[in-house]
Structure 1
């Protein structure tokens, strides 16, 4: 199976083509930590990995795209492009969470404690999800505060993600329990999860864990009769 993977959810902008076939196996990726400007860079990156792997769009079996948690603007860019390809090509598009992709690359794969992937949010908030030591999900993704995590999280937990240091400090954990400080997922892990994902379950819908900060304007509005 050949998949095009796209990630624009956080500060990174990346694309990859991965094929796990015995006779057609290939992988090529490109990524850049740009902060903003995903829309201006993404299509060039896709064109580059498609060319490097000699892949025509008709060769793709599916498209995988990160669905969050992430920035509102970044998510819209990746999801719009992925959905557009899926519609034109008639191929499934699967959504991969940034937390699951980070867990896949960071999971210790041993008999130790579980893994908490935590990304920096606003103030004391973190976007987080717990995984087994092998990267399988345990609970749902959620917004938690550092104080809440400190009161409810096992001291055996291992940590990954951009908020790992903050969580470790709140829980009083040694730095040895931080296995990764990744601020964004690796595009290869997004592609690998894209190959495994069930299109019926892993839909390309944005994962928003908190409502937007903007609120509808009410002053000066004319009420409808």
Structure 2
């Protein structure tokens, strides 16, 4: 099965074309852009397809990171994946950033449980714990750093992600998280068919909120 995976949930804008039958990455492009995913995503996808030597209609499944992460970036990626899936008549799946980092760790260090913590700022983090086989042991959640430290007290496994230094008492996290786009594709390949359509996993509301207490006077037409 040919899988096209995309990630716009963080500082990277990424796309990967993956052949799941032969476990081969056919084409991959990642650009660390910070912001502006909407403007660059189509070019990134074209680049991955070009490296793979395939046209878009060769894609048999879409995969997209659904968060937690950048509010705007997640919307861009999910909308693109659902649009492509609709036009191609194939399935689109959502892969969380937390399970992506867990799968990346477990691919390199099998046989050990792993906790993934993403620095959410404001004294909070996104946290989820996975078993050695990759199965989730807890739900993805936005929690305070104190609660995270309490949850992880005595945890006999690895701790990865930008919040890991914060759990150890350091003042700052390790910087922006990067979600390996080939891992997103490989995780998608393990999912059974007929999944729910991808939808954003925000866990926290947007920073931009409507102002309250102000209203514009309505003017009746002359």
Which bin holds the TM-score, normalised by the shorter protein?
Answer: 0.7 to 0.9
| Corresponding residue for residue 63 of structure 1 | 62
Q: Is the 8 A contact 1:104 1:134 kept in 2?
A: no
| Corresponding residue for residue 210 of structure 1 | 204
Q: Is the 8 A contact 1:93 1:199 kept in 2?
A: no
| Corresponding residue for residue 13 of structure 1 | 13
| Corresponding residue for residue 97 of structure 1 | 96
C-alpha distance in 1, partners of 2:25/2:160?
Answer: 29
| Corresponding residue for residue 191 of structure 1 | 185
| Corresponding residue for residue 177 of structure 1 | none
- Deviation of residue 150 (structure 1)? 2.1
Q: Is the 8 A contact 1:68 1:206 kept in 2?
A: yes
Q: Is the 8 A contact 2:91 2:194 kept in 1?
A: no
2:139 is the alignment partner of 1:145: no
C-alpha distance in 1, partners of 2:99/2:142?
Answer: 15
Q: Superposed, which structure 2 residues align to 1:116-131 within 5 Å?
A: 116-131=115-130
- Deviation of residue 52 (structure 1)? 1.5
The number of residues matched between the two structures is 211
Provide the secondary structure at the position in 2 that maps to 1:118. strand
- Deviation of residue 212 (structure 1)? 2.3
Q: Which region of structure 1 is more displaced relative to structure 2, 187-196 or 32-41?
A: 32-41
Provide the secondary structure at the position in 2 that maps to 1:80. helix
How high is the TM-score relative to the length of structure 1?
Answer: 0.85
How high is the TM-score relative to the length of structure 2?
Answer: 0.86
5+ residue gaps, structure 2: 217-222
Q: Superposed, which structure 2 residues align to 1:30-69 within 5 Å?
A: 30-69=29-68
| Corresponding residue for residue 132 of structure 1 | 131
- Deviation of residue 199 (structure 1)? 4.9
State the superposition RMSD in angstroms: 2.3
C-alpha distance in 2, partners of 1:43/1:215?
Answer: 29
Q: Is the 8 A contact 2:116 2:128 kept in 1?
A: yes
Which of 200, 213, 218 is 1:219 aligned to? 213
Provide the secondary structure at the position in 1 that maps to 2:99. helix
Provide the secondary structure at the position in 2 that maps to 1:211. coil
Q: Is the 8 A contact 1:126 1:143 kept in 2?
A: yes
- Deviation of residue 153 (structure 1)? 2.1
Q: Is the 8 A contact 1:160 1:182 kept in 2?
A: no
C-alpha distance in 2, partners of 1:143/1:157?
Answer: 20
- Deviation of residue 26 (structure 1)? 4.7
Note closer, same or farther for the CA distance 1:137–1:14 as it changes in structure 2 (3 Å cut): same
C-alpha distance in 2, partners of 1:202/1:137?
Answer: 18
- Deviation of residue 202 (structure 1)? 4.9
